[in-house]
C-alpha cells in the first residue's frame, strides 16, 4: 500500500569527540518533541555504548536477534594440518596447534570473515558460520517509540546494525503518520557507524565542546558531513566553562557558514537528571540548561521543516 504521507524527516545528533553530551541533549529533545506538535520517533545509533534507553524510561516491547557476520570454523576431524589456511590469512586469525594431537583453530576475535581459508582448504574442513552480533529492540517511552540496539561486546558490523534500526524506524513512521520526525542519537567518531547514522538524514546537530580536543574533532566531523552533503547546525555544550574555546567554535562556524543554534551553559541539572534517569528538561525545566535546550528545539524545527 502506498503511503500518502510526507516523507519523514530525520535529524542526527553527532559530535566527533565522545562524551560531549549527545545523549543528554537527545533525551531532552525527545522530551520536548513529545510536548510539541512535532512528535518524534527516536533511534539510539550508538550501538557500542547504547545509553539513550537509560534516560527515557524505556519499556521493551520487542527484542530481535541481529545476525550478520560470519566467522570461519575448522572441523578438527577433517583438518590434516596442511597449513594452507595459515598462509592465506592476512589477519593472523589461524592458530597453529602446539602439538600434533590438536588441530588448527580460528581465533574468532581476529577473523575478518573473508573466507579465503575456506576456498584454499584442500580437505574442505573449513566453513563460514553465521554469528549473532547483537540484539535490537523496539521500546515504548512516555516520549515516543524508541528503536535501539546492543552490539555484543567485541562483535562486528556496527554500521549494518545502525542501518537496520534506522530502517525499522522509517517503516514505523510510514505506518504511523503522527510522527513527522526521527531523532537519531549518533555514535562518536567519523567512521563506519557515523556514516551509517548520517545516511539520508535532513539535518545533523553537532554537539561541540569548547577546548582543543573538542575543536579538533568538530572540524573532522564537519568535513565528513560536508563530504556527504548533509546540512549542519551546531550547539555548544558547557559553553561557559571555557569561554575562549567557545569563541573559537563560533569563529570556526562562521568561517564555515554554519549556524550556531544554542550555547548550553554548564549546569549541574544535567548530570543530576542523568543519574535520575530522565531528560533534564523534564527534571528541572527552569534550569539554565533546560531553557537553552528549549530554544535549540525551536530552532531545529525551523531548520528542518524550513523548505515547507
Judged on CB neighbours under 10 Å (0-12, 13-18, 19+), 251 is exposed
> Binding other proteins by CB under 8 A: which of 65, 171, 228, 254?
228
When asked if residue 145 is in the footprint of other proteins (CB under 8 A), the reply is no
Size of the site for other proteins (CB under 8 A): 67
Collapse the DSSP code of 165 into the 3-class scheme (helix H, G, I; strand E, B; otherwise coil) and give the result: helix
- Output the smallest distance, CB 19 to other proteins, in A: 1
Closest separation in Å from C-beta 128 to other proteins: 8
Considering only 4-12, 176-184, 207-215, 294-302, which stretch makes contact with other proteins by CB under 8 A?
207-215
**87-126 positions binding other proteins, by CB under 8 A:** 88, 90-91, 108-110, 112-116, 119-120
CB neighbourhood size of 72 (10 A)? 25
Beta carbons of 17 and 217 less than 8 angstroms apart? yes
Alpha-carbon distance of 261 to 293, in angstroms, equals 10
DSSP 71-86: EEEE-TTT-----HHH
The answer to whether 8 and 171 have CB atoms below 8 angstroms apart is no
Under the binding rule (CB under 8 A), the answer on residue 70 touching other proteins is yes
Minimum distance of other proteins from residue 208's CB (angstroms): 12
E strands, 143-202, in order: 146-151, 181-185
> Is 152 near other proteins (CB under 8 A)?
yes
CB 173, min distance to other proteins, A: 26
Q: Which residue from 190, 201, 232, 234 is in contact with other proteins, where contact means CB under 8 A?
A: 190
Q: Decide if residue 192 touches other proteins (CB under 8 A).
A: yes
Helix or strand holding residue 59 (H, E): strand 59-74
Between 162 and 300, whose beta carbon lies closer to other proteins?
Answer: 162
Where in 169-188 is the site for other proteins (CB under 8 A)?
A: 187-188
Grid coordinates representing 118 are 575456506
Among 10, 11, 20, 206, binds other proteins (CB under 8 A): 20
Q: What number of other Cβ atoms are within 10 A of residue 101's Cβ?
A: 6
Q: Is 155 an interacting residue with respect to other proteins (CB under 8 A)?
A: yes
Please give the Cα distance from 308 to 302 (Å, whole number): 10
- How far from the centroid of its chain's Cα atoms is residue 195's Cα? 9
Q: How far is CA 141 from the centre of its chain?
A: 19
| 199 near other proteins, rule: CB under 8 A | no
Alpha-carbon distance of 100 to 27, in angstroms, equals: 57
57 binds other proteins (CB under 8 A): no
- Is 64 one of the binding residues for other proteins (CB under 8 A)? no
Separation between Cα atoms, residue 140 and residue 135, nearest integer Å = 17
Nearest distance in Å: CB 109, other proteins = 5
- 191 scored as a contact of other proteins (CB under 8 A): yes
Q: Helix, strand, or coil here: 280? A: helix
- Interaction between residue 242 and other proteins (CB under 8 A): yes
- Kindly state whether residue 86 participates in binding other proteins, applying the rule CB under 8 A: no
- Report the interface residues with other proteins, using CB under 8 A: 16-20, 23, 48-51, 54-55, 70, 88, 90-91, 108-110, 112-116, 119-120, 128, 150-156, 158-159, 187-192, 194-195, 209-214, 216-217, 220, 223-224, 227-228, 238, 241-242, 244-245, 266, 271, 274-275, 277
Amino acid at each position: 500500500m502506498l503511503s500518502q504521507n510526507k516523507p519523514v524527516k530525520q535529524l542526527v545528533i553527532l559530535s566527533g569527540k565522545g562524551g560531549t553530551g549527545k545523549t543528554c541533549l537527545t533525551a531532552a529533545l525527545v522530551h520536548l518533541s513529545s510536548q510539541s506538535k512535532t512528535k518524534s520517533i527516536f533511534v539510539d545509533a550508538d550501538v557500542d555504548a547504547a545509553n539513550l534507553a537509560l534516560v527515557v524510561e524505556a519499556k521493551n516491547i520487542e527484542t530481535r536477534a541481529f545476525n550478520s557476520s560470519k566467522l570461519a570454523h575448522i572441523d578438527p576431524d577433517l583438518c590434516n594440518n596442511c597449513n594452507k589456511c595459515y598462509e592465506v590469512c592476512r589477519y593472523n586469525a589461524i592458530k597453529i596447534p602446539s602439538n600434533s594431537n590438536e588441530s588448527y583453530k580460528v581465533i574468532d576475535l581476529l577473523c575478518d570473515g573473508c573466507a579465503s581459508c575456506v576456498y584454499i582448504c584442500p580437505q574442505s574442513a573449513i566453513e563460514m558460520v553465521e554469528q549473532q552480533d547483537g540484539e535490537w529492540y523496539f521500546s515504548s517511552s512516555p516520549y515516543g517509540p524508541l528503536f535501539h540496539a546492543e552490539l555484543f561486546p567485541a562483535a562486528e558490523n556496527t554500521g549494518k546494525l545502525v542501518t537496520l534500526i534506522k530502517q525499522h524506524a522509517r517503516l514505523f513512521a510510514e505506518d504511523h503518520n503522527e510522527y513527522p520526525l526521527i531523532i537519531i542519537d549518533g555514535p562518536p567518531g567519523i567512521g563506519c557507524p557515523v556514516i551509517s547514522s548520517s545516511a539520508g538524514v535532513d539535518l545533523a546537530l553537532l554537539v561541540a565542546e569548547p577546548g582543543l580536543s573538542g575543536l579538533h574533532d568538530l572540524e573532522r566531523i564537519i568535513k565528513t558531513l560536508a563530504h556527504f552533503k548533509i546540512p549542519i547546525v551546531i550547539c555548544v555544550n558547557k559553553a561557559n566553562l571555557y569561554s575562549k574555546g567557545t569563541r573559537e567554535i563560533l569563529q570556526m562556524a562562521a568561517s564555515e557558514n554554519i549556524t550556531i543554534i544554542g550555547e548550553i551553559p554548564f549546569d549541574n541539572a544535567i548530570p543530576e537528571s542523568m543519574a535520575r534517569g530522565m531528560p533534564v528538561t523534564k527534571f528541572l525545566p527552569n534550569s539554565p540548561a533546560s531553557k537553552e535546550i528549549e530554544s535549540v528545539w525551536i530552532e531545529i524545527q525551523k531548520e528542518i521543516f524550513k523548505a515547507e
